[in-house]
Amino acid sequence: MFESIPAAPADPILGLADLYKSDLRPNKINLGIGVYKNETGHTPVMVSVKKAEQQLLETETSKNYLSIEGYTAYAQASQRLLFGAGNPILETQCLNTAQTPGGTGALRVAADFLAQHTTAKRIWVSNPSWPNHHNIFTASGLDVATYTYYQPETHTLDFTAMLNALESAEAGDVVLLHGCCHNPTGIDPTLEQWQQLSELMLRKSLLPLFDFAYQGLGQGLDDDAQGLRLFAQSHQEFIVCSSYSKNFGLYNERAGAFTLKTTTPQAGSAAFSQVKAVIRANYSNPPSHGASIVTTILHDDTLRAIWEQELLEVRQRIQRMRQLFVQTLQEKGAIQDFSFINKQNGMFSYSGLTKEQVTRLREEFAIYAVASGRINIAGMTPENMSRLCESIINVTR
Ligand code: PMP
């Protein structure tokens, strides 16, 4: 049965990580995979996370299964982080949250739930987007349509084209929105644009599905949630898939959350029972450790303060590297204007580099970026900046 199976195409981003690993050139630079790295090129465990783990080591008494939806305290902390502590939505009893294996797990639960238990047939995803969105939604049997998002000449959001595309969506379609730090472009809607999107989607009865994987990596924990919180004021029904991989550095612990907002508590109970049935058939119940860490930190004032400071440093380092990158390119005589990179949010930037230029960077200079031209700003350090910028100038000449 297994003899005639053709190999699956390599994952465009994970395949790059393998190539990077096997590259023996000592001065190689990795701007590929979307993982935060500090000034020394290391992906550290946060101090707040280590401290929470120490507490857990001493207090944990059992490895018994969790419930299908995971820890209640984790769900509450997740809702507070998404909507802000004083938000009246938290008291409506119309929110139900399940702890999931990462943001990917949350997205798959959302996709299966939508495909199996709602009338939704189609989901609109930005073009470009994180490539796994297509995999996840098609695996669940949803049709994936795309809306234009990016204007390559001006390196900005093509908002008119985005609105036009969404005008052709039909009532009951789902629209996937990146909560902040759009992957791969780094370009987010302004508050006014969020408002317009919210109005369009209400008028056309489109269901918002927020993918919120980078809260705190853009402008701050609250600022990054402005789009979601604005939608939450007028939309009765929506879904949020959030992740703690990036903002807690818990990549391999798989901590995420699926949050369902319904019009009434009664509808919430029934719909969430179906969400639990979806989870039961997928992975039965979630892993505990990452979620315990997040819960411990978010419920402890001291640990939370340490974590927020660490997250601030992550954000500031990314912003510093953006500025240094633009400045160094300019100083070294780049012909193109790269200042748009300073206006983008989060770890990623659409650099405008072509596929050919990305290939040359890899082959001639041991610099790894995604073929689309997406670069991970966190792969930059003050030490590698000169060589990086010289190489980019070399291939863009
Ligand atoms: N959504 C987006 C836009 C992402 O970039 C990522 C991570 N690359 C995820 C979801 C999934 O995150 P996780 O690792 O928590 O599954």
Tell me the per-residue pLDDT of 18-61, one tens digit each, with 9 for 90 and over.
899 999 999 999 999 889 999 998 999 999 999 999 999 999 99
Tell me the per-residue pLDDT of 103-133, one tens digit each, with 9 for 90 and over.
999 999 999 999 999 999 999 999 999 999 9
Mean pLDDT of 143-167: 97
Tell me the per-residue pLDDT of 306-324, one tens digit each, with 9 for 90 and over.
999 999 999 999 999 999 9
Mean pLDDT of 365-392: 96
Mean pLDDT of 166-181: 98
Tell me the per-residue pLDDT of 329-357, one tens digit each, with 9 for 90 and over.
999 999 889 999 999 999 999 998 999 99
Q: Where are the beta strands (DSSP E) in the chain?
A: 29-30, 95-100, 122-127, 143-148, 150-151, 156-157, 174-178, 207-212, 238-243, 256-261, 348-350, 367-368, 374-376
Nearest Cα residue to 52 out of 43, 60, 40, 42: 60
**130 catalytic, yes or no?**
yes
Q: Tell me what the pLDDT averaged over the chain comes to.
A: 96
336 CA → ligand 1 middle, Å: 31
Number of Cβ within 10 Å of residue 17's Cβ equals 14
Q: Where do the domains of the chain lie?
A: 14-45+315-396, 65-299
Q: Do domains 14-45+315-396 and 65-299 have the same CATH topology?
A: no
pLDDT score, position 317? 97
Q: Which residues of 172-185 are buried (b: 16+ CB within 10 A; e: fewer)?
A: ebbbbbbbbbbbbb
Ligand 1 pocket mutation, candidates 181, 183, 210, criterion most atoms within 8 A of CB:
183
Q: Is the CB of 103 under 6 A from ligand 1?
A: yes
Tell me the per-residue pLDDT of 187-213, one tens digit each, with 9 for 90 and over.
999 999 999 999 999 999 999 999 999
Tell me the per-residue pLDDT of 8-19, one tens digit each, with 9 for 90 and over.
887 777 788 889
Q: Is the CB of 211 under 6 A from ligand 1?
A: yes
Mean pLDDT of 171-176: 98
Q: Which residues of 286-324 are buried (b: 16+ CB within 10 A; e: fewer)?
A: bbbbbbbbbbbbbebeebeebbbebbeebbebbeebbeb
102 pLDDT more than 90: yes
pLDDT score, position 29? 96
pLDDT score, position 328? 97
The two tokens of residue 165 are 């595309």
Catalytic residue among 112, 158, 173, 211: 211
Write phi, then psi, for 46 (nearest 5 degrees).
Answer: -65, 150
pLDDT score, position 10? 77
* Alpha carbon distances (Å) from 289 to 57, 65, 75, 286, 376: 10, 12, 15, 10, 28
Q: Which atom of ligand 1 is nearest to the CA of 256?
A: 15
11 CA → ligand 1 middle, Å: 14
Specify the CATH class of 65-299 in words.
Answer: alpha beta
Q: Determine which residue's CA is closest to atom 1 belonging to ligand 1.
A: 213
Q: What kind of fold does domain 14-45+315-396 have according to CATH?
A: Aspartate Aminotransferase, domain 1 (3.90.1150)
Q: Is the CB of 245 under 6 A from ligand 1?
A: yes
This prediction has a pTM of 0.96
